[in-house]
Structure 1
Amino acid sequence: MSITDLITLAGAIATFLFGMSTMTDGLEKLSSGRLERILERLTSNVVKGVLLGAMVTGLIQSSAATTVMCVGFVNAGIMRLEQTVGIIMGANIGTTVTAQLLRLGDISSDNVLLALLKPSVLGPLLAAVGVLFYMFIRGGKKRIIGQIILGLGLLFIGMKTMEGAVSGLQELPEFQALFSAFSNPLLGILVGAAVTALLQSSSASMGILQAVSSTGLVYFNTAIPLIMGQNIGTCITAILSSIGASRNAKRTAAVHLLFNVIGTAFFLAVLYAGNALIGFPFWENVMDMGSIANLHLGFNIGCTLLLLPFHKVLVKIVERLVPGDAGAPEFNLLDERFLSSPSVALEQARSAVVSMGEKARENLGLAVDLLTDYDEKKLERLNENEITIDKLENTLDSYLVKLTDRALTDPESALVSELLHTLTNFERIGDYAVNVSEIATTMRQREIAFSDVARKEVDAITSAVKATLDITLECYEKRDHDLALHVEPLEEVVDLMEEVLKNRHVERLKAGACTIELGTQFLELTINLERISDHCSNVAMLIVRQTAPASQHLPDTHAYLKYLHAGGDHDFDALFAAYRAQYFAPIEEDTGFDRTTSS
């Protein structure tokens, strides 16, 4: 084998690995988190978990990615350890799809259609089509589809080039001796595990073995230990991802390793003992790409059928291997393991932003309660929530910045921007709720209270602000365009109430019906409540713009709001009138301030 052949082999392996990586990344982007959400929600029993694990892994072509997602979901508290067992078993089956695709290299026929499926023809064809989609066709998901097709094409090109580069090895006595040595099961398992751990992909190491099979030196008794070792080696990715994770996340990675080790030990004992006793006729059969792919599939299905009835036992064993009480850890939705799959990371970030909004809403309710029913425990709960909100803001900022370093699609980049704006608004709402609590504390310390009239006014405006925040959170969580359109009219009613109540209070101060001290607290309270509704409007406008029909071309936010307030939208005016009647009319009186429409 010449130096040229070695360089060609290195380039072929690089092309093959790059093609696999490109295809896998494209498949993950195309899933847009949908497959991951299926994993998260539809794992009610272990058999369903096996099917889902196989489906997801077959579609994204990475058992390591599926297992790492499981580790992340367990660490985030989204899934239980028991739910991951079936998924991990299914992932081992799903990862065999790549080997089945690569077996197309065994096709030999004069039929034109079958000839097109041979890697030597199919690879360049797919690469050309993929480049066309990836570089020249814009819009929608065509670029991602092009990436997948291009990756698959490079996979076949790399495979065919590897076959040609290793063809000269069959004549080398050293290479023949090397593959003969792999018939030693322990050595074969160690080499298979080491190569797969290095590549962090059992599909990639399986593809290399299939390419080497073209030399005619791969026999059943050498292939089976290598395949078993590859299944063990692929566990390294999940093990590395579990470092620093919760105890149950570490146990999830241990389930993956234990499943493959037990399956390997069992079938190794059965096969070698059986061959020693009766002598299998296929023991020294030469393996081609198709038979290697089938052996890989059969081994993983066999392991699953063997251990599926004992899935609960596997959980108990790993709980012994990774001792200690998992307790109730602080789950981290923003697990950095998700960054390798941006669609999942964005879904988790969005859940964290929603959590921020819910805590801000809880704090507003607590702060308003403190105005009439001061309770130290409620204040303590409010302060704990505020600390959590601030931590979430800092963590989310950092997390989303790290996410922008990944290759994101245009919709994913838009969602990152939306999340950054939304978390800022929710954090400010939390701050204004704290301000309201400080007003309540000041009034408590100074032993002052609002008059009955002022109390009625406060109740009215706080009810309107609470309703604004409720609608905002619901429209954001559901991404509901129609519901988001309700926020701005209600926010305008809050603006009207704040302005009218401020003027009334000034009149009461002039008449001596209210003290300066109480007046200051009242005005500060209404200002803070009105600013909460302003931030609700900011969030709702984001949803209005992001979810608007493609046919509806909205101007920039400032111009759009100006258009609404000028009476340009009848639906807006109708909603404003309805909310005004609901929240402002009960406290409205003749104050010399006439405002019948929004401004």
Structure 2
Amino acid sequence: TPLMASMGGNIAAKRTAMGHLLFNFLGTAWTLAIFFPFCHFAQWLTEELGQGDPGALSAFVNHIEATDPDTYNHLFDNTLPAGHPVSAQIAVMQQSVSIGLSVFHTVFNLINLSIMIWLTGLYVKIVEHLVPSRPNQEEEFQLKFIQIGMVSSSELNISQAEKEIVVYSQRVQRMIGMAQNIIHCKDNSEEFTKQFSRLEKYEEISDRMEIEIADYLNRCSEGRLSNEGKHRIAAMFRIVSEIESIADCCYGIGKILIRKRESNAQFSEEIYHNIDSMFIAVEAAMTNQILLLRDVEHAQQKDIITSYNYEREINNLRNQLRSANVENINEHHYEYQAGIYFMDVIGSLEKIGDYIINVVDEVKNLLRLSK
């Protein structure tokens, strides 16, 4: 069943399904090897728990068949009179059988887990070998937690969407690093072209992920939800939109550098240093945002305050660099055109800071709602 359910899923879903199959297959193998002793153990454990003997029902029914055929026939025709002593005895024994089966299944999984947990590394290698990834799959469009087309329990699906938003945010964070890398590439180099193409590809993936997550949230909202669930979905819509705007800004930095290359403007070492300082502040703010998104319902107030401190730091740095830029141009530290592109990059990074704090505001609202 898990394999069939994962057929339309991504590689993570397929590997999870294969891991589930292997877990049960290997567990079944050792259980069959000691099947009768294992059954006796489950029977003994059920009795020790004070739930009776699960094997007594079969012996009792066989005894009724041999000694009282009429009662046996009525029993299987479901025509025994109400309150018949045999019916009462069988009801008690049926409960023992049900609990015995539960004990059997629970003990099977516990023993199986206690065996497999020591073989996790080998287990992962086997699954990855059976379900290999394609080259560069990390840079392909894929949702990790959401299975598009499968929406059942809406409240449960919200938590899956929250996990997917964390993955989305992590992917967009990589774009910040790419934007910083392309800043330091020589304008007409092959590396510049390669990095810009990669940034462009990630921006396209970001757009598609936003659409898929939003579509999933929209279908979740059509289900039966509590008021809290509806507010959570509304907040997640806004969070996804803000994260996508961060991706747009990162791609926008790449396009600024394209224009800079076309105008033959050159950045000085001072500009590079100032841009890197801004990137460091934005990266720290993005990392803290992801920390908050990982567990929205238990987000720490100190982490929210840290985000607001990063926002103030980014704004202050932008203001300082803007003032210094005018002086540096007047003092001929670099050309006017370079200063324009420099401020465009800084402006885009400051916008990223704004989008990050918008996400944090939504997290703060969700935290207040959960309380």
Matches of 2:293 and 2:103, distance apart in 1: 46
Partner of residue 497 from structure 1, selected from 317, 321, 339: 317
Q: Deviations over 1:37-90 (max 9, x none)?
A: xxxxxxxxxxxxxxxxxxxxxxxxxxxxxx679936994525232425778999
Shift in CA distance, 333/302, structure 1 to aligned 2, threshold 3 Å: closer
Q: Secondary structure at the match of 1:373?
A: coil
Shift in CA distance, 70/354, structure 1 to aligned 2, threshold 3 Å: farther
Partner of residue 75 from structure 2, selected from 286, 301, 322: 286
Instruction: Say whether residues 1:529 and 2:358 are aligned partners.
Output: no
Partner of residue 182 from structure 2, selected from 359, 370, 392: 370
CA contact (8 A) 1:69 1:337 kept: no
Instruction: Say whether residues 1:360 and 2:172 are aligned partners.
Output: yes
Matches of 1:508 and 1:412, distance apart in 2: 52
Matches of 2:313 and 2:103, distance apart in 1: 67
What are the residue-to-residue correspondences of 1:310-329 with 2, within 5 Å?
Answer: 327-328=132-133
CA contact (8 A) 2:228 2:370 kept: no
- What is the deviation of 1:356? 1.4
- What is the deviation of 1:488? 1.3
CA contact (8 A) 2:232 2:366 kept: no
Instruction: Say whether residues 1:546 and 2:358 are aligned partners.
Output: no
Q: Deviations over 1:283-321 (max 9, x none)?
A: 74514588589399499779979x999xxxxxxxxxxxx
Matches of 1:417 and 1:532, distance apart in 2: 21
Q: Secondary structure at the match of 2:75?
A: coil
Matches of 2:314 and 2:99, distance apart in 1: 67
- What is the deviation of 1:347? 1.9
- The CA RMSD measured in Å over matched residues stands at 4.2
Q: Secondary structure at the match of 1:358?
A: helix
Shift in CA distance, 487/494, structure 1 to aligned 2, threshold 3 Å: same
What are the residue-to-residue correspondences of 1:68-79 with 2, within 5 Å?
Answer: 71=5, 75=9, 77-78=12-13, 79=16
Instruction: Say whether residues 1:460 and 2:260 are aligned partners.
Output: no
CA contact (8 A) 1:68 1:337 kept: no
Instruction: Say whether residues 1:339 and 2:151 are aligned partners.
Output: yes
- What is the deviation of 1:405? 0.9
Counterpart of 2:209 in structure 1 is 392
CA contact (8 A) 1:72 1:338 kept: no
Shift in CA distance, 429/371, structure 1 to aligned 2, threshold 3 Å: same
Shift in CA distance, 68/415, structure 1 to aligned 2, threshold 3 Å: farther
Q: Secondary structure at the match of 1:340?
A: coil
Q: Secondary structure at the match of 1:408?
A: coil
Pick 1 or 2: higher relative contact order, CA cutoff 8 A, min separation 6.
2
Matches of 2:72 and 2:9, distance apart in 1: 44
TM-score normalised according to structure 1 size: 0.41
Matches of 1:344 and 1:69, distance apart in 2: 21
Counterpart of 2:20 in structure 1 is 83
CA contact (8 A) 1:485 1:540 kept: no
- What is the deviation of 1:548? 4.2
Counterpart of 2:240 in structure 1 is 423
Q: Deviations over 1:164-191 (max 9, x none)?
A: xxxxxxxxxxxxxxxxxxxxxxxxxxxx
Shift in CA distance, 501/377, structure 1 to aligned 2, threshold 3 Å: same
Partner of residue 351 from structure 1, selected from 163, 168, 177: 163
Counterpart of 2:218 in structure 1 is 401
- What is the deviation of 1:438? 1.9
Shift in CA distance, 504/69, structure 1 to aligned 2, threshold 3 Å: same
Matches of 1:477 and 1:297, distance apart in 2: 39
Partner of residue 478 from structure 1, selected from 295, 317, 333: 295
User: Match for 1:522: what amino acid?
Assistant: F
Shift in CA distance, 478/69, structure 1 to aligned 2, threshold 3 Å: farther
Q: Secondary structure at the match of 1:80?
A: helix
- What is the deviation of 1:336? 4.3
Shift in CA distance, 548/425, structure 1 to aligned 2, threshold 3 Å: same
User: Match for 1:410: what amino acid?
Assistant: N
Partner of residue 432 from structure 1, selected from 249, 252, 264: 249
Matches of 1:303 and 1:488, distance apart in 2: 53
Q: Secondary structure at the match of 1:492?
A: helix
